Amino acid sequence: MSKNAPLLPVIEVDHLSKAVSDSTGTLEILRDIHFSLQPQQTAAIVGASGSGKSTLLSMLAGLDTPSQGTVRLQGQDIFALSEDARAALRGQKIGFVFQSFQLLPNLTALENAMLPLELAGVRGARQMASEMLQRVGLGQRLGHYPKLLSGGEQQRVALARAFVVQPAVLLADEPTGSLDHATGASVMDLMLELNREQGTTLVLVTHDRSIAAQCERTLTIEAGCLV
């Protein structure tokens, strides 16, 4: 590839639609969504509650399937893969951060951060996870269980767990939604710092326009459509 050749998109969303039917009729959740994101780009998906933004995030991860259209991750059509193959792809290339942290309560901070590395069979998982927890300011909390950590500390563990695998894409669903304003702002700053350090493509769902403004792109969903 020549030095001036354009970068291939990390994410390509190609005319994505999602509809569900029941006895009352058909509900269109997403309609003909089409966009792409370049490596290292940051994008916020915004919209009113029920607009379809979390459904879109789930489909970017291959956790939910579309009625029409597809998603390509680094050129790979994820819906051409089996469910097991999609899960393997997620483990290799996608990190997740959730509003509710999603830490396993019976594992320490270190064990939670080690988990994706161990599932992927990576050697040196303990050292890598320990270093990442130190990077997010939790070097003194390695042996603590989630119930002994504050909300901000739990979200930092979740960030460490997401970034320790050096994902191509980080998907974050309302990552500061459970935190007070000051704690949320510091977690957001840290997430953007880690994102720059690792060259990850970040896609986050938020209802907070000030958080969205920190991203390079804002994708607004209204009634299932990209506007």
Give the CATH number, domain containing residue 136: 3.40.50.300
**If you average pLDDT over every residue of the chain, what do you get?**
92
Q: Report the DSSP beta bridge partners of residue 226.
A: 221
pLDDT band, residue 120 (cuts 50/70/90): confident
Q: How many domains does the chain have?
A: 1
Beta strands in the chain, from DSSP E residues, in sequence order: 11-22, 25-37, 42-46, 68-73, 76-77, 94-98, 169-173, 201-205, 217-222, 225-226
Average pLDDT of the residues in 97-103: 91
Which residue has 């695998």 as its token pair? 165
User: Could you tell me if residue 1 is inside a domain?
Assistant: no
* Residue 219 clears pLDDT 60, i.e. is over it: yes
Yes or no: say if 158 and 100 are a contact pair by the CB < 8 Å rule: no
User: Running DSSP on this structure, what letter comes out for residue 82?
Assistant: -
User: Could you tell me if residue 107 is inside a domain?
Assistant: yes
Pairing verdict, β 68-73 and 169-173: unpaired
Return the structure tokens found at 163. 């970034």
What's the burial of 172, exposed, middle or buried (CB within 10 Å: 0-12/13-18/19+)?
buried
Q: pLDDT of 121-177, one tens digit each?
A: 899 999 999 999 999 999 999 999 999 999 999 999 999 999 999 999 999 999 998
Range of the domain at 102: 11-226
User: Dihedrals φ, ψ of 12, to 5°?
Assistant: -125, 120
User: Could you tell me if residue 79 is inside a domain?
Assistant: yes
User: Could you tell me if residue 219 is inside a domain?
Assistant: yes
User: Could you tell me if residue 71 is inside a domain?
Assistant: yes
User: Could you tell me if residue 4 is inside a domain?
Assistant: no
* Residue 20 clears pLDDT 80, i.e. is over it: yes
* Residue 56 clears pLDDT 90, i.e. is over it: yes
Q: Could you tell me if residue 75 is left (phi over 0), alpha (psi between -120 and 50 degrees) or otherwise beta?
A: left
What distance in Å separates the CA atoms of residue 100 and residue 203, rounded to the nearest whole number?
A: 17
Supply the pTM of this predicted model.
0.90
Alpha helix segments (H runs only) across 39-150: 53-60, 83-93, 109-119, 125-135
Q: Could you tell me if residue 31 is left (phi over 0), alpha (psi between -120 and 50 degrees) or otherwise beta?
A: beta
User: Could you tell me if residue 191 is inside a domain?
Assistant: yes
Between the CA of residue 44 and those of 91, 126, 181, 194, what are the distances in Å? Answer: 22, 32, 18, 17
User: Could you tell me if residue 3 is inside a domain?
Assistant: no
